[in-house]
C-alpha cells in the first residue's frame, strides 16, 4: 500500500474549486430529476405528446449522426492526412456552427434549404422538403453538432501512425483497403466518441430547429422535439415543466453514460 501524503496547498485549493464546479453541475441535475416522483415521471412518459417527442428527438439525432459519419469522417481523414493552402481557415470554418447563435444557424439553413432557394428547389424536385419537416430537424441538428464528430475523428486519425499506412501501401494494399483495414479500425474509438458527442448535442438542439422546422402540427408532421416541448410547457409554469425536464435529463444521462462506457471500454482508468 502506498503511503498517504498530505496534499500541498495548491492541491487543496484545486480540490475545493473543482468540488464547487462539480456541485454547480451536479446539484441542478439531481434536484430536477428528483423533483418528480417515479409515478409522475412514468405517467408523463405515457402522454402521447411526450413519448412522440422523445422518439422524434432520438431518431432525428441518430439520423443526423449517421449523415455526419458518412460525410464527416472522410473530411476528418483528409484534414488529418493532407496539408494544403487554407487548411487552418477551413478547420476554423468547420467549428463556426459551435459558436454562432443557433437561431442564426437556423436562418442560414433556411436561406439555403428553403423551397425558394437553389438547394431547396433541388431537393424539392425529388420530394424532400426541409421546412417544418423531419428532414429539417435532421439538418438543423447536423449543422450545429457535426463539428464535434469531425474534430474528434480528425484527432483519432492523427493518432494513427502514418508509417503503418505507408507499409501497407508498399505491400500492395489499395488506399481503400488501407483506410478500411488500418486507419478506420485504429481510429474507431475517437470516431465513436465524436459520434456520441454529436448525437448528444443533437438531442439538445433548440434554436436552429425553432427557425427551420418547428410546428406543433404541420401536414401531419409533429416537429416538436424534446427541448421545444420543455419550453412550451414552461409557459404553463415551472412545476408543469419539471417532469418533462427530468425525463429529458434522465434520457440524456443514461444514453450518454452508456455510450461513453462503450467507447472507453478496455481503457485503463
| Pair 193, 129: CB distance under 8 Å | no
21-46 residue pLDDT tens? 999 988 988 888 888 888 888 888 88
What pLDDT shows up at residue 135? 85
C-alpha cell recorded at residue 72: 464527416
Q: Write down the domain spans for the chain.
A: 6-35, 47-263
CA angle, 127 then 63 then 56, to 5°: 85
Q: What is the pLDDT of residue 154?
A: 94
Q: Which fold has domain 47-263?
A: MetI-like fold (1.10.3720)
Beta strands (DSSP E) in the chain are none
Identify whether the C-beta of residue 135 lies closer than 8 Å to the C-beta of residue 212: no
DSSP 221: B
Average pLDDT value over all residues in the chain: 85
Highest mean pLDDT among 69-83, 119-133, 159-173: 69-83
Length of the chain, in residues: 269
Q: What does the CA dihedral 128, 103, 151, 223 come to, rounded to 10 degrees?
A: -40
Q: Which residues contact 245 (CB under 8 A, 6 or more apart)?
A: 32, 230
Instruction: List the grid coordinates of 34.
Output: 428528483
First to last CA, the chain: 18
The answer to whether the CB of 163 falls within 8 A of the CB of 182 is no
Whether residue 255 is predicted with pLDDT greater than 60 in this model: the reply is yes
| pLDDT for the residue numbered 221 | 47
pTM score above 0.75: yes
pLDDT at 259 over 60: yes
The tens digit of pLDDT for each residue in 113-162 reads 877 777 877 887 787 878 778 888 999 999 999 999 999 999 999 999 88
At 216, the pLDDT band (50, 70, 90 cuts) reads very low
Burial of 150 by CB count in 10 Å (0-12 exposed, 13-18 middle, 19+ buried)?
Answer: buried
Amino acid at each position: 500500500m502506498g503511503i498517504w501524503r498530505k496534499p500541498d496547498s495548491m492541491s487543496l485549493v484545486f480540490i475545493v474549486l473543482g468540488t464547487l464546479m462539480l456541485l454547480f453541475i451536479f446539484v441542478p441535475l439531481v434536484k430536477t430529476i428528483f423533483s418528480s416522483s417515479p409515478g409522475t415521471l412514468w405517467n408523463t412518459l405515457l402522454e402521447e405528446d411526450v413519448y412522440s417527442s422523445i422518439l422524434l428527438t432520438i431518431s432525428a439525432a441518430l439520423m443526423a449522426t449517421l449523415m455526419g459519419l458518412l460525410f464527416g469522417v472522410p473530411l476528418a481523414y483528409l484534414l488529418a492526412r493532407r496539408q494544403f493552402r487554407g487548411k487552418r481557415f477551413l478547420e476554423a470554418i468547420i467549428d463556426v456552427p459551435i459558436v454562432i447563435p443557433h437561431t442564426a444557424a437556423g436562418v442560414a439553413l433556411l436561406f439555403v434549404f428553403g423551397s425558394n432557394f437553389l438547394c431547396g428547389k433541388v431537393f424539392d424536385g425529388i420530394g424532400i422538403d426541409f421546412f417544418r419537416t423531419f428532414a429539417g430537424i435532421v439538418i438543423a441538428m447536423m449543422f450545429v453538432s457535426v463539428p464535434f464528430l469531425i474534430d474528434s475523428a480528425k484527432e483519432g486519425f492523427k493518432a494513427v501512425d502514418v508509417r503503418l499506412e505507408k507499409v501497407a501501401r508498399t505491400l500492395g494494399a489499395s488506399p481503400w483497403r488501407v483506410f478500411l483495414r488500418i486507419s478506420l479500425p485504429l481510429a474507431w474509438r475517437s470516431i465513436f466518441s465524436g459520434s456520441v458527442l454529436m448525437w448528444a448535442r443533437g438531442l439538445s438542439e433548440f434554436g436552429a430547429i425553432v427557425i427551420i422546422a418547428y410546428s406543433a402540427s404541420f401536414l401531419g408532421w409533429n416537429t416538436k422535439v424534446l427541448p421545444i416541448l420543455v419550453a412550451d410547457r414552461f409557459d404553463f409554469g415551472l412545476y408543469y415543466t419539471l417532469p418533462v425536464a427530468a425525463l429529458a435529463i434522465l434520457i440524456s444521462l443514461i444514453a450518454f453514460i452508456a455510450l461513453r462506457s462503450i467507447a472507453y471500454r478496455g481503457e485503463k482508468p
